[in-house]
Amino acid sequence: MEDKFLGKQVDYPQSYAPEMLVAVPRYLNREKYHLSNDQLPFIGFDSWHAYELSFLTKKGLPVTGLLKIVYPATNPSIVESKSLKLYLNSFNMHRFGTSAKEGLDLVLSTIKKDLDKLLETDVNLGFFNAENDDAQFDFDNYTILEQSKNVDEIEFVHFNENPQLLTPSNKKGELKVASHLLRSNCKITNQPDWGSVYIHINGDALPDLDGLLQYIVSIRNENHFHEEICEMIYKRLWDTYSPNELAVSCIYTRRGGIDICPVRVSHQHLLPSKLISSDILSSKLLRQ
């Protein structure tokens, strides 16, 4: 099911085509990390930004904007990204409504109905067609790991995920760190996916920062979907440090007109409120 469209040449549908949507069960990856859907050590959301939503009104006026999709990490499946791209493009030449507003209401209700059914959950949608000069960011006051003074002295030799690099420091308390060096690859096409990871951890054992950066770099040749990478990092940190609180957010750059930003946290209050709100367009990172 994962490779129904990935890695294949597929013609874009010329009219509304809900049959293009493909659901991928989450358990397929979670089993590897001993994650049970019934006893997950996290709550979270997957936030998607689709930059190419467009349709026509009945008079042929194009309506174009950014679609934000948010759904919980506790539902059974994710939507495969290329299938979503093909599905959204099926609206491009389809006509909805006598006005832009009426058409948009029809399109959003249609997309919600289709995604709710596919993902077996309540999907929240937002639509944006103007820049937001007051856009806010959830991840202020994070230390960027690769900006440390001694980064050029670190030896990076592992480029496949290696949790043994996660060594403890002699510190405890709260740590908020980030890296823009996250890179993984699509598990089907092997195309690179670039992103940033934000980690908030609180406990009696904290990671050594050099080791944590080496670990993030070691993901470079891993082949997983974005959601799976986020859960892998979370589970490794959870198992290694047994923290009181943990939050991992991965903000990937867009590919194929879509970016995917999964969030996994141990407690509700750690959720990044702007990123997971469908009616808020938070500020973007450099590569988004």
Task: Please confirm, yes or no, whether 186 is among the known catalytic residues.
Answer: yes
Q: Which of 193, 210, 259, 261 is catalytic?
A: 193
Which residue in this structure is represented by tokens 């937001």?
132
CA distance 238 to 246: 7
Q: Which of 186, 230, 250, 261 is catalytic?
A: 186
Give Cβ neighbours of residue 226 (< 8 Å, ≥ 6 apart). Answer: 184, 193, 195, 250, 252, 260, 261, 262
**DSSP annotation string for 135-173:** ---S-TTPEEGGGSTTGGG------S--GGG--B-S--E
Give Cβ neighbours of residue 215 (< 8 Å, ≥ 6 apart). Answer: 161, 162, 163, 165, 166, 236
Token couple for 243:
């923290």
Which residue in this structure is represented by tokens 């996916």?
193
Task: Please confirm, yes or no, whether 193 is among the known catalytic residues.
Answer: yes
Active-site positions?
186, 193
